[in-house]
Structure 1
């Protein structure tokens, strides 16, 4: 009885620490609780949440898997495990977990949306569309998350009109969903309506000025207009937020090369090669600069 009460006390303190953002302390308390009662599935789940909040995805996934092993009748650990699994490259596992979660409770919007996202990641575009239609029937209300997720399946197959319609539906249902305008901007850019695309990127950045993906997309479109100074400003903003962002360094190298600042281009491209030796086109870009520099 004493061990059980001590374990509960540690778990209660862990919750308090978690609520205050004290991840290390929450982890310590949960591990103490689990050392006394290792068969408590919800404590393993809470440990997973704590580790995920601390940025320790692999450790979090291990805790979620333990929770699933102890109590596989609850959808929440399955969904949490799937989300982390996608981040660490275990997309097939994510699909399996999400399907199991939907079997347990088909009314959870996040499970359907993440399943569509995972199938898109695997290139299973038709399956993603099927999952979208299943979600439409299963969920009590139309889902902005599902519309946004299935849009990617369409856009990757260059079905821009249908993909754009899905994004507009997502915006109609939930206009606060992140990056919808920017993604719609990508659609208009692909359809050749660059002015409208620029307008949407700008509106998205006004709402979320620190969004790295939108800054990169906006900068790339500015490059197409030969507005290199403005584009470089966007990429430098990305580097303020993420100093090792290889996409931003590569684009700055491209701008330097196009404006015949070959030494600067070499610096950027060599940094990209150091950060990611497998970055697409980096060796070709370096070779072109070496030839141009003479």
Structure 2
């Protein structure tokens, strides 16, 4: 989407302002570029990203739709449209836009991941699992994908697979306390109390005041003593 002349200079100035953290100034530059050329796809895309990032989701989608009306084969634009819908909690629209991105680029890991998140938010857990499994095949070193796959496995009561996914997440990102918390709780629900305590202790060595992990540790200790309850972690 090349730009020429004054419009290109305005876009470049907007990009520089964004790098400086001046989002309002950048948005003005992109709007100025669009006054010169209302069909500027580069300016529309950048404006859409800013609007999405500042919570103006419907306006962002309008920008992305304007681009797709002219150039429907840009997977990144479909993906950003999906992001705007997802952040606005419009999960069916997010899933559909993510699918359009995937149709254009089947190896688009982030689109598969976002599709999984949208489907999980709709409580379509088997479909979410399939999306996350596709994402992890494409990017096996991605801890966010690995973690969410573990979450869905756990919801589906595929606990051994959940444990493996959470352990893999921790291998990829040893500081991920959510993965440690989820692993400990899954082990607790499986009756593997000693392992749950060990995972909690490892996590508490990183963050001694983590209240949820302290809570799960207490549950696991009581489980070891023969007193079992399964509240929500």
TM-score relative to the length of structure 2: 0.76
Residue 86 (structure 1) shift: 1.4
Residue 122 (structure 1) shift: 1.3
Q: Which residue is equivalent to 1:198? A: 200
Q: Which residue is equivalent to 1:21? A: 21
Q: Which residue is equivalent to 1:105? A: 105
Contact 1:186 1:197 in 2 (8 A): no
Q: Which residue is equivalent to 2:225? A: none
Q: Decide whether aligned partners of structure 1 residues 177 and 16 sit closer, same or farther in structure 2, where only a CA change above 3 A counts.
A: farther
Q: How many residues align?
A: 214
Q: Write the distance in 2 (CA, Å) between the matches of 1:11 and 1:90.
A: 30
Task: Provide Cα deviations, 1:158-192, integer angstroms capped at 9, x if missing partner.
Answer: 33222121222333355566733333233234335
Residue 200 (structure 1) shift: 4.7
Q: Write the distance in 1 (CA, Å) between the matches of 2:141 and 2:69.
A: 30
Contact 1:13 1:29 in 2 (8 A): yes
Q: Write the distance in 2 (CA, Å) between the matches of 1:176 and 1:107.
A: 28
TM-score relative to the length of structure 1: 0.62
Task: Provide Cα deviations, 1:89-139, integer angstroms capped at 9, x if missing partner.
Answer: 1111111111111111122221111112221111212222333444456x2
Residue 148 (structure 1) shift: 2.3
- Which secondary structure state, in structure 2, belongs to the residue aligned with residue 123 of structure 1? coil
Moved >6 Å (runs of 4+): none
Residue 223 (structure 1) shift: 7.4
Higher relative contact order (CA 8 A, sep 6+): 2
Q: Write the distance in 2 (CA, Å) between the matches of 1:220 and 1:174.
A: 23
Q: Decide whether aligned partners of structure 1 residues 221 and 136 sit closer, same or farther in structure 2, where only a CA change above 3 A counts.
A: closer
Structure 1 unpaired stretches of 5+: 210-214, 226-294
Q: What is the RMSD of the two structures over their aligned residues, measured on CA atoms?
A: 3.0
